[in-house]
């Protein structure tokens, strides 16, 4: 009889664990870019204008051994865009990092992104396709636009 209670308890525990492994709620896209950048700033700039985004061909490769990882998520319930900095080999070389969102209506918003791993910045997204790009300035004096992603 004791084995039945143990078996039931084990099955319940497994069901709880399995339920925790499923989930949704956000669309998650992670991209590791071979570049590095970070910035700690508190300003936000919003510009309204007809903007043409640069083609992905204008992305710049970070120096060897200076890779950075950025992930972009769009919240399905309110269309917010969350950009996370996940660190990378070049994290210590970053002097500043900015994230720019170009919305489908042509408005542009730029915010700083801290170079500490786990830092994030949130933007209000539009109902259309928005484009996110990340730029990093390194201690070598150069600035690199190393990441771009369109979010439908």
CB-hemisphere CA count at 13 Å for 103?
18
Compute CA distances 65 → 35, 38, 147, whole Å: 8, 15, 16
Domain map of the chain by residue range? 26-151
| The pair of three-digit structure tokens given for residue 83, joined into one six-digit string | 């950009």
The CA distance from 91 to 97, in Å, is: 10
pLDDT given for residue 35 in this prediction: 37
Average pLDDT, integer, range 45-66: 61
pLDDT given for residue 52 in this prediction: 40
Question: Which pTM value belongs to this model?
Answer: 0.64
Average pLDDT over all residues of the chain = 76
Q: Give the model confidence (pLDDT) of 106-123 as tens digits.
A: 999 999 999 999 999 999
Q: Give the model confidence (pLDDT) of 122-145 as tens digits.
A: 999 999 999 999 999 999 999 999
pLDDT given for residue 13 in this prediction: 55
The CA distance from 55 to 143, in Å, is: 17
Average pLDDT, integer, range 20-42: 40
pLDDT more than 70, % of the chain: 62
Cβ neighbours of residue 150 closer than 8 Å, sequence gap 6 or more? 129, 130, 131, 132
**Architecture of the structural domain at 26-151:** Sandwich (2.60)
pLDDT given for residue 118 in this prediction: 95
pLDDT given for residue 58 in this prediction: 85
CB-hemisphere CA count at 13 Å for 150?
8
Which among 134, 146, 145, 124 is positioned nearest to 80, based on CA atoms?
A: 124
- H-helix or E-strand spanning residue 18: helix 2-21
């Amino acid at each position: 009889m004791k084995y039945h209670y143990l078996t039931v308890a084990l099955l319940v525990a497994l069901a709880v664990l399995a339920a925790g492994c499923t989930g949704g709620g956000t669309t998650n896209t992670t991209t590791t870019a071979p570049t590095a950048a970070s910035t700690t700033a508190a300003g936000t700039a919003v510009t309204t204008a007809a903007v043409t985004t640069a083609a992905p061909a204008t992305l710049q490769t970070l120096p060897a051994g200076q890779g950075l990882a950025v992930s972009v998520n769009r919240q399905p319930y309110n269309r917010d865009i969350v950009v996370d900095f996940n660190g990378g080999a070049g994290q210590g070389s970053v002097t500043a990092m900015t994230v720019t969102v170009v919305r489908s209506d042509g408005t542009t918003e730029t915010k700083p992104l801290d170079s500490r791993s786990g830092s994030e910045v949130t933007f209000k997204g539009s109902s259309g396709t928005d484009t996110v790009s990340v730029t990093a300035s390194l201690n070598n004096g150069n600035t690199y636009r190393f990441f771009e992603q369109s979010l439908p």
